[in-house]
Structure 1
Amino acid sequence: MTYDPTGHLLLTPIDREAPVRVKRLRRLGLGDRPDPAFDAFATRLAEVTGALYSMVNFIDENRQFFAGLHIPSDRHGGTDRRDPTAAAAAAAPGRVMARDHGYCPHVVVRRKALVLEDVRDYPRFAGNPVVDEIGIRSYLGAPLIDRTGIALGTICVVDTEPRPWGRPGLETIKSMAAEMVDQIHRREDGGI
């Protein structure tokens, strides 16, 4: 964790690789529009993990863009495990999120998967705006490191309840991140 010159705690890590990442994302044509194949991947990721939300996320200097996004289709019915009052009060995530919201910027800078079974157990992460604004209580994410060595973004799942992801969750998210990177490489090579 770092501090700014005025002595305030910065909850979002400094990302020195962002300018290089943005150039690579532009060359790949990623990070600025929804992608149906990435949406399908996000839906499969949610199904595999049983999470409410899942994303294929590309990160620039200022924002995160969910090129692939899965949200519950019925936020007030059986798919949403929260009570209807809380569900109505919570804002569904859109395609764009500030860089200081969420945990994916940490994953990109660390270049390692991150498992938060209950974000409230980690003071560094419990104060993130997504906890209060969206009601996020658990997170599982892995970086998308391409053949050039650049961390393009992440895949992740989040839930509104603590989740015992454990080692199986970690292995799943890492395996699916590798699958997504392969899909990106096939596109770059003209295979998709």
Structure 2
Amino acid sequence: MTGFDDWLNRRLEECAQQAGENVVTYVARAVASRMVTDDRRADSASIEELMAHLANSAAFAETAMPSTSATITDPDRLRALYATGLLDSAPEEIYDRITRAAAAALDAPSAAVSLVDVDRQFFKSTVGMNVDTPEERQTPLDRSVCQYAVANGAPLIIEDARTHPIFKNHPAVLDGTLVAYLGIPLSDSDDNAIGTLCVFDDKPRLWGTGHVQILSDLALLAAERIFGPGAGPQG
């Protein structure tokens, strides 16, 4: 690469090889990620156009992620989700208080109450995200990290997704949106997880047991608000 000495070029080749890519693809993806990050930080109106062009150019080519289909499309889970009436509903202060508390308690720039539908992720409440319109309050399912917490029915703890053997391939990680993530499933008394209370960061984080406990307690409050007393893990 122009401007790199021999050592840096050798190191670049090694990094690309470790990522399973050639140097051109590795550099293009890195540059694309930086462009997206800079546009997001500048709150640029062109971010959607940029993402569309990057998608058309396959800068973030899809990579294999584990399938969550069996759990996400489970009829009992979907009935529990739809029965809440929360999909496409307006923001509510009770949930906003919970996400604000989660972001503040864990010193995280972003937090959300997410609901995972069969083909999309809907945000009932957010902190630190640009979700001013109904369209911005949802993402396609392939952009969801929360679906994996829902599928596993357990806390999902990611300290640096860029080096995670699975999540380094996730679209939200590849484009720089998410580096660290902590999500707790929101479950009814029958263990149907409909979404998560999550926090995330665009830099690595060390999540301790105290962080998990605090977020779990707040998630239980959210689940009790959604399903009533008795929601969440039993016993």
Q: For this structure pair, what is the TM-score category when the shorter chain's length is used for normalisation? A: 0.7 to 0.9
Residue 152 of structure 1 is matched in structure 2 by 194
**How far did 1:35 drift?**
2.4
Pair 1:21-2:77 in alignment: yes
Residue correspondence of structure 1 range 85-100 to structure 2 within 5 A: 94-100=136-142
**How far did 1:72 drift?**
6.1
> Could you give the per-residue CA deviations for residues 44-84 of structure 1, whole angstroms, max 9, x where no partner exists?
211111111111011111011010111169xxxxxxxxxxx
The one of the two structures with greater contact order (alpha-carbon pairs below 8 A, sep at least 6) is 1
Query: C-alpha separation between the residues in 2 aligned to 1:15 and 1:55?
Result: 24
Distance change (3 Å), C-alpha of 1:178 and 1:27? same
Moved more, 175-184 or 111-120: 175-184
Residue correspondence of structure 1 range 51-70 to structure 2 within 5 A: 51-70=108-127
Residue 204 of structure 2 is matched in structure 1 by 162
Distance change (3 Å), C-alpha of 1:134 and 1:98? farther
> Could you give the per-residue CA deviations for residues 3-29 of structure 1, whole angstroms, max 9, x where no partner exists?
xxxxx8334422335333232222221
Pair 1:103-2:158 in alignment: no
Distance change (3 Å), C-alpha of 1:150 and 1:123? same
SS in structure 2 of the partner of residue 39 of structure 1:
helix
Structure (1/2) with the larger strand percentage: 1
Residue 35 of structure 1 is matched in structure 2 by 91
Pair 1:139-2:139 in alignment: no
Query: TM-score, normalised to structure 1's length?
Result: 0.75
On the 8 A contact 1:114/1:141 being kept in 2, the answer is: yes
Counterpart amino acid of residue 150 in structure 2:
V
Moved more, 51-60 or 16-25: 16-25
Structure (1/2) with the larger helix percentage: 2
On the 8 A contact 2:65/2:166 being kept in 1, the answer is: no
Residue 164 of structure 2 is matched in structure 1 by 122
Query: C-alpha separation between the residues in 2 aligned to 1:13 and 1:120?
Result: 21
> Could you give the per-residue CA deviations for residues 123-177 of structure 1, whole angstroms, max 9, x where no partner exists?
2001111113353110000101112321111110010111111212221222221
On the 8 A contact 1:12/1:105 being kept in 2, the answer is: no
Query: C-alpha separation between the residues in 2 aligned to 1:124 and 1:25?
Result: 27
Which of structures 1 and 2 has the bigger CA Rg? 2
**How far did 1:183 drift?**
1.5
Distance change (3 Å), C-alpha of 1:26 and 1:146? same
Residue correspondence of structure 1 range 70-85 to structure 2 within 5 A: 70-71=127-128
Residue 220 of structure 2 is matched in structure 1 by 178
Q: Where in structure 2 are there 5+ consecutive unaligned residues?
A: 1-62, 230-235
Counterpart amino acid of residue 48 in structure 1:
A
Query: C-alpha separation between the residues in 2 aligned to 1:115 and 1:44?
Result: 19
Distance change (3 Å), C-alpha of 1:134 and 1:122? closer
Residue 88 of structure 1 is matched in structure 2 by none
Query: TM-score, normalised to structure 2's length?
Result: 0.62
Query: C-alpha separation between the residues in 2 aligned to 1:70 and 1:12?
Result: 28
RMSD: 2.2
Query: C-alpha separation between the residues in 2 aligned to 1:160 and 1:10?
Result: 20
SS in structure 2 of the partner of residue 58 of structure 1:
strand
